[in-house]
Structure 1
Amino acid sequence: MLLELKRIYVPPGQRVLLRDVTWQELESILEELGEHRAARIAYDKGILEIMAPLPEHEDNKEIISDLVKALLEELDIEFRCLGSTTFKNQLMAQGIEPDQCFYIKNELTIRGKKRLDLTVDPPPDLALEIDITSRTHPNIYQSLKVPELWRFEKEKLQINILQDGHYIESQESLNFPGLPLIEVITQYLEQSRTAGRNATLKAFRFWVQQSRQQKN
């Protein structure tokens, strides 16, 4: 790169677009940026976006992620949470770093693997994007064949399910069928802001247990 990336400052909530970025340049940029950083990237056929999230974005991400983990634990479902791992496919010239992602049905397939290659490994079963006002890339997730994409924006959760190569909005989750998660996740996220994280997760776990008993 002619301009060293460390000289580029991206203010929280803002983004930088770089055009005509080759795959080799993308690999170099990712190496230079490193893994332990706040910024997220999205790459779509030569266009690279680097975005820095706002602090409240991180709060929402952490609580929603904790709720999903608690749900999986209460349902006794093995999972692997990979955070904002870079998922990319050179053949499609696309890559993305979700705010959070989970391997659920395919957890066993990638169990123990330190590096994933979507040309041979399955994509995550569930990806999460928070506050997507400036950063919305469902086309990349579609191309990478992520079965389920949650998008949380303006205090609303939207569940998108992949069907015939395109996302359709759904009222329930593919991974958690029969649960009214659109309303419940939002409700407990809001509750966490007044009741605190631990009290909220305890209440949420109780709700999951009650829901399981009612289904049985």
Structure 2
Amino acid sequence: MTASCPKPIGDKRLTFHNLDWSAFQQIKTLLAPNTRARFTYDHGTLEITQALELHERYARMIERFIQILVMEMGLKLKTMGSTTLDREELDRSAEPDNGYYIQNYALVADHEINLSQDPAPDLIVEVDITHTDLNKNRLYAAMGVPEFWRFNGKNWQILTLTEGEYVEQDRSPTFPIVTKSDLYEFLKVALNDEITAEINFRQLVRTRVQA
């Protein structure tokens, strides 16, 4: 089952090739203060993404989906949003749509994240409605992100890190009580009525937690 929605353009992308880390940082320093774009860099390739309305709505609704699950399941959460994940030693950098610490919450709750000492976020979410030239699976696997969700406007991929590579799963190991169809239904309703979508989903999760 897939989300019942059209496939319009959800984001604009501009790609640069053959840039070293210094050039990437210079471009980012120049452009970042004047744009809401996100910057992703992987071994010389820089992708600048400007999210349009549908991209932003999906990203925010998936975040709400996660927050409801965390609250109703009695978990803890540190939300990173699109915080820059710079890993110069890996020649990689990313600004995901959403990043979260859940399993490792206690390790990072009381301080600002330093990726040279702290673990990578437990869960990263990316909405990629239009084509990306970057291999984001390889990028986040190299960063050691245990769970990576990708949503392209129709399909939800749940990827878990196994021996340095992502393996697609039917359910999230973080939130095993929900299925892919639960997210699709939540997004379908939320695109028309966010409050009803939250009420319905929250009740569904409570029922399953109490079962």
For the residues of structure 1 that align with 2:121 and 2:78, how far apart are their CA atoms? 9
Aligned partner of 1:192 among 167, 187, 190 = 190
Q: Secondary structure at the match of 2:158?
A: strand
Q: Which residue of 1 aligns with 2:123?
A: 126
Alpha-carbon offset, residue 97 of structure 1: 1.1
Number of aligned residues? 201
Structure-2-length-normalised TM-score? 0.87
| 1:25 corresponding residue in structure 2 | 23
Aligned to 2:5: none
Larger CA deviation: 18-27 vs 82-91: 18-27
Q: How does 1:7-18 map to 2 (within 5 A)?
A: 13-18=11-16
* 3-state secondary structure, aligned to 1:52: strand
Instruction: For residue 51 of structure 2, give the secondary structure of its aligned residue in structure 1.
Output: coil
From 23, 40, 48, the equivalent of 1:42 is 40
Name stretches of at least 5 consecutive residues in structure 2 with no aligned partner: 1-8
Supply the distance in 1 between the matched residues of 2:45 and 2:29 (Cα, whole angstroms). Answer: 17
1:192 offset after TM fit, Å? 1.2
For 2:200, the aligned partner's letter is: A
The CA deviation string for residues 67-115 of structure 1, in whole angstroms up to 9 with x for no partner, is: 101110111111011111111211110111111111101112121323x
Identity %: 29
5+ residue gaps in structure 1?
A: 1-10
2:104 maps to which residue? 106
RMSD of aligned residue pairs (Cα, Å): 2.0
2:114 corresponds in structure 1 to 117
Q: Normalised by the size of structure 1, how large is the TM-score?
A: 0.85
Determine the structure 1 residue equivalent to 2:143.
Answer: 144
Which residue matches 1:4? none
Higher RCO, Cα 8 Å, sep 6+: 2
Distance 1:37 1:84 in 2: 14
Match of 1:78 among 76, 79, 90: 76
The Cα shift of 1:48 comes to 1.0
State the AA in 2 paired with 1:151: R
- Corresponding residue SS for 1:151: strand
The match for 1:6 is none
